[in-house]
Copies of this chain bind each other. A is one copy, B any other.
Amino acid sequence: MLPRPVFVAASLLAAASRVSALWPLPQSLSEGSSALRLSPGFHITLGSSLAVDAPFDLYDAIGRTQLALFTDNLGRLVVGRGASDVDAFQGAAYLTELQLSLGSGSTVNSVATEAQKPIGERDEAYTLTVPANGSAATITATSTLGLYRGLTTFEQLWYEYQGTVYAINAPVTIEDEPAYPYRGLLLDTSRNYFPVSDILRTLDAMSLVKLNEFHWHVVDSQSFPLEIPGYEELATYGAYGPDMVYSASDVQTIVSYAGARGIDVMVEVDTPGHTAVIADAHPDFVACNQARPWATYANEPPAGQLRFTNATVAAWTAGLFSALARMFPSRLVSTGGDEINVPCYDADAETQRDLNATGLSFNDALAGFTSQTHAALEAAGKTPVVWEEMVLDYNLTLSNETYVLVWISSEDAKEVADKGFRIIQAPSNYFYLDCGAGGWVGDYPAGNSWCEPFKTWQYAYTFDPLANLTADQYPLVAGGQHNLWAEQSGPENLDPIVWPRAAASAEVFWSGAGGNVTAALPRLHDVSFRMRQRGINSISLQPLWCALRPDECDLDW
Contact = CB atoms under 8 A, between A and B. Distances in A.
A539 B442 contact: no
Copies of this chain, how many? 2
A11 interface: no
A interface SS class:
loop
Contact of A487 (B443, B447, B543): B543
Contact of A539 (B293, B492, B546): B492
Contact of A454 (B222, B241, B437): B437
Contacts of A195: none
A541 B458 contact: no
Contact of A544 (B240, B441, B457, B555): B240
A368 interface: no
Contacts of A441: 553-555
A81 B241 CA distance: 9
A495 interface: yes
Contacts of A517: 443, 445
A470 B129 CA distance: 74
Contacts of A300: 543, 553
B192 A540 contact: yes
Interface in A188-247: 190-193, 221-223, 240-241
A260 interface: no
Contact of A458 (B438, B486, B495, B544): B438
Contact of A543 (B191, B241, B444): B191
A49 interface: no
A107 interface: no
Interface string A439-465: 111111101100011101111001000
Nearest to A458: B445
A280 to B, nearest CB: 11
A494 to B, nearest CB: 9
Nearest to A462: B445
Interface string A297-334: 00011100000000000000000000000000000000
A538 interface: yes
A551 interface: yes
A556 interface: yes
A543 B441 CA distance: 10
A220 to B, nearest CB: 9
B492 A540 contact: yes
Contact of A295 (B492, B496, B542, B555): B555
Most buried by B among A192, A222, A490, A553: A553
A404 to B, nearest CB: 27
A436 interface: yes
A545 interface: yes
Nearest to A521: B442
B462 A554 contact: no
Interface string A479-506: 0000000111111110111000000000
Contacts of A497: 496
Contacts of A488: 539-542
Contacts of A292: 557
A401 interface: no
Interface in A415-442: 436-442
B445 A302 contact: no
Contact of A546 (B442, B454, B552, B555): B442
A70 interface: no
A445 to B, nearest CB: 5
A294 interface: yes
A556 B222 contact: no
Contacts of A221: 545
A537 interface: yes
Given A442-B553, A492-B532, A545 B436 contact: no
18 contacts: A191-B543, A193-B544, A223-B543, A294-B552, A301-B545, A301-B546, A438-B458, A440-B542, A441-B553, A442-B521, A442-B555, A442-B557, A443-B517, A444-B555, A487-B540, A488-B540, A489-B539, A490-B539
Q: Report, nearest first, the 4 A-B pairs whose CB atoms are least far apart.
A: A438-B456, A443-B554, A493-B496, A442-B554
Given A301-B557, A302-B545, 20 more contacts: A191-B545, A192-B540, A222-B546, A295-B556, A302-B552, A437-B456, A440-B546, A440-B553, A441-B554, A441-B555, A443-B551, A445-B518, A447-B458, A448-B456, A488-B542, A490-B540, A493-B496, A493-B539, A493-B540, A496-B497
Interface of A: 81, 190-193, 221-223, 240-241, 292-295, 300-302, 436-445, 447-448, 452-454, 456-459, 462, 486-493, 495-497, 517-518, 521, 532, 537-546, 551-557
